[in-house]
Copies of this chain bind each other. A is one copy, B any other.
Amino acid sequence: MARKRFDDSSCSVARALNEVGDWWSLLIVLQAMYGTRRFVDFQQELGIARNILVDRLCRLVDNQVLRKVDVGEHGSRFEYRLTDKGRDLFPVVIALRQWGDRYNPCPDGPPLDLRDRRTGQPVRQLEVQDADGNPLTVRDVFVSEESLDDQQNPA
């Protein structure tokens, strides 16, 4: 009856989804990338229930996506900051954003555009590339046979 989990799945996508594959975790990470650090700010900016937020923050801390820092200043006591592991979700978030912008454009107003702080230029469209930098589609890739065997039963 327990919700299926994939901790020990041989599929790295399944293992990744096990950590950030629920409704809220990636949005929390996204907010953290925007600079949000405090409990109340996550709660208000995301509109998430407090008990769920507690649960998600703990899990993200357990999984070392965030770390909880004790800052003993005026009422505000803790901050949740991205770790390197959390920051490395950047491509995942960007890939989702670009896909969302392309296929579910915002009904009102233009899509949020990310720009390079240094040059002011927009961020390039993410693409899967071969060793020489040429774009690859799903059909252009294959999986080496021996690793594919392990892959057939993620659950």
Contacts and interface: CB of A to CB of B under 8 A. Distances in A.
Interface in A1-36: 3-4, 8, 10-17, 19, 21-23, 26-27, 30, 33-34
Interface residues of A, number: 89
Interface in A42-82: 45-48, 64, 82
A144 B122 CA distance: 10
Given A3-B23, A109-B147, A153-B45, A131 B124 contact: yes
Given A47-B155, A119-B130, A136-B116, A96 B150 contact: no
B104 A12 contact: yes
B12 A21 contact: no
